[in-house]
Chain A
Amino acid sequence: MDFLFITQQTLSATIGVNTIIFALAAIGLNMHFGYTGLLNFGQAGFLAIGAYSVAVPVVSFGIPLWIAFLIGIFNSIIFALLLGIPTLRLRADYLAIVTIAAAEIVRQIARSATFNEWLGGSDGITGKFGKEFFDLNPFKSGLDTPILRFNANDLWVVIVGWSLVAVITFVMWIMVNSPWGRLMRAIREDEDAVRSLGKNVYLYKMQSLIIGGVIGSIGGFVYALSRQSVQPDNYGTALTFFAYTVLILGGAARVFSPVVGAMIFWFLIVFIEQILRQGVSNNLIPDWLIGVNQVGQIRFMLMGLGLMALMIFRPQGIFGDKKELALDAKA
């Protein structure tokens, strides 16, 4: 077993691109679910909107990348309005059903052959749409140390990505500690009480949905740029549920928990995968038990089991406060 290699891979993943994407997706969900109590099961849809809004205008219509970012934010606001207007007046489960359905609609339209010309069908879009972004890259070579390894492009994405996460986390911290944030938590605890104080609950829920959605679509920007391609099947319902796992792992309704949750999540995933891979290729794990191609499946099985165990034994997450918000495993 090559422990140095395992350490390098694991640590690089812990602060890597995927961690940034999941942290952003989970910060958005934290706004929705942690602070306002909205059950948004369509966060993958917001990421897909963000990713496609970066790729499609640049590749199919030749619009500059910086304008594509604005288009992406605009689109995610529209998407949030579309989801919110019919459902936010209804019981919580309606939002859950509509968001999960809408995210699937986005994915299936993106992968359909009908819109192949613009959206690239099931292969998605691969191209140099991030050129303007990577032209600004000051790093000529990547980072290659025994414990961390990034190529030049990844290094640039990681640095810009973490700066984004820091800024957004700071803004979140200001927002949730303002009177506005208190109102959000009040809506989560008792909507009727807030309404009786003369506040327009519908409007505030809509604001929460839009803000969380925009943060999610920024995660989509990072997803698209870091890979220089968008593939529709990356934005399935599994992405939403893993973002929830990240959020619950860290503890909902804490400003830093999505970031820490994402780091722990990817640390565990890559660590387990590397250990299993090395074990299998060095014949430490017998072949009849786990084949080389089955390591990825074991990883997903453990993720499912971990999510269940977390909900049953520690629903408030690692840093969560039981008084602030404990997810009821029975509800």
Chain B
Amino acid sequence: MLVVSIGLAIFLRYFFLFLFGGDTRQLPQYAGQAGLEFGLLSITPKSILTTSIGIILIILATLWLLKTRMGKASRAVSDNPALASASGIDVQKVIRAVWVLGAALATYAGVIITINQGVSFLMGQDMLLLIFAAVTLGGLGTANGALVGSLIIGLFVQLSTLFIPTELKYVGALIILIIILIIRPQGILGKKERIG
């Protein structure tokens, strides 16, 4: 599955290059939107909308994982597919559902990036490693680990440019990832028994 999805990613990336060309394009209606002032904060209407939809989606995804039968089943499959199958869970169905939902959430992330930074065929590749880093940092297999990890990675990447050259900011984030794995391999929210 891992290698198949990598193949699909390579195909799609060059398919978009083929169709749209290699430039970064902006959405002109949203490119330079004026910010609304709230005291010390300035925020654009597009950010308010995309962020609130994003927060709603995160809450829904968390609830799905923690409360619904399907969410519990998906965590069981991740822990031990054979045992889950033996206890009557349709493993294939769970895997399908998780892939569809995961892809849908990733697509919404793509929409946010497009509205804020424009669209280009390489935009996913730059993000991919940071996403890996965020998930591992928060703890693989924890419901809100990805959220905590993303907050830390995102803040670290932007704030670290105060101390290190801007072009090395991603390097800093990846080094943090490796250090975290040495000190606390289960991630910030992870449980120890999952690291095997």
Contact = CB atoms under 8 A, between A and B. Distances in A.
A298 to B, nearest CB: 7
A97 B14 contact: no
Interface in A56-92: 85-87, 90-91
Question: Which DSSP category, helix, strand, loop or mixed, fits chain B's interface?
Answer: helix
A301 B195 contact: no
Contacts of A329: 1, 4
A308 B129 contact: no
Nearest to B8: A308
Interface in B123-137: 125, 129, 132-133, 136
A311 B7 contact: yes
Nearest to A83: B178
B27 to A, nearest CB: 24
Given A101-B177, A311-B3, A304 B167 contact: no
Interface stretch (A1-9, A106-114, A128-136, A176-184): A106-114
Contacts, number: 113
Interface in A276-318: 294, 297-298, 300-301, 303-308, 311-312
B12 interface: yes
Contact of A305 (B11, B174, B177, B195): B11
A330 interface: yes
B10 A100 contact: no
Given A300-B14, A307-B10, A86 B3 contact: no
B6 A112 contact: no
Nearest to B172: A105
B165 A97 contact: no
Contacts of A330: 1, 95
Contacts of A238: 10
18 contacts: A85-B182, A86-B185, A90-B181, A94-B195, A97-B133, A97-B181, A101-B174, A104-B129, A104-B174, A105-B171, A112-B168, A113-B165, A114-B168, A238-B10, A298-B18, A301-B11, A304-B8, A304-B9
Given A86-B178, A300-B10, A311-B4, 13 more contacts: A90-B181, A105-B171, A105-B174, A105-B175, A113-B165, A237-B125, A301-B18, A304-B11, A305-B11, A306-B7, A307-B6, A308-B4, A331-B2
